[in-house]
Amino acid sequence: MNHKLALGVTVRRHRQRLGLSQEQLAKRAGLHRTYIGSIERGERNITLVNILRLAQGLEMDIVKLCGEMLAQKDRTDRHISSAIQRVM
């Protein structure tokens, strides 16, 4: 899993945990709804400033958001590696 998709999965999970729509998160973060959607789909190479805005919109510390994104990437990578090993 690439970092962009891992961030997207993490943002979506926390947005849903808060019961927010993409539009509501966009408003909180000062971003456009379609931009939120493209982040969640892993389509955006997002700037640090916008990661900070997302973290604030999600009521999270940026360090926690980035840490969870890296953990998501590691979990997915391990799962894929394990699946490949089983096939071989």
The domain spans of the chain are 3-85
Domain spanning 3-85 has what CATH number? 1.10.260.40
Q: For 1-88, where are the alpha helices, taking DSSP H only? A: 3-17, 22-29, 33-40, 48-57, 62-87
Query: What is the C-alpha to C-alpha distance for residues 54 and 57, in angstroms, rounded to an integer?
Result: 5
pLDDT in tens, 69-85: 999 888 887 767 676 77
Task: Report pLDDT digits (tens) over 3-14.
Answer: 999 999 999 999
* pLDDT per residue as tens digits for the range 10-53: 999 999 999 999 999 999 999 999 999 999 999 999 999 999 99
pTM for the predicted model, two decimal places:
0.84
- pLDDT band of residue 2 (cuts 50, 70, 90) is confident
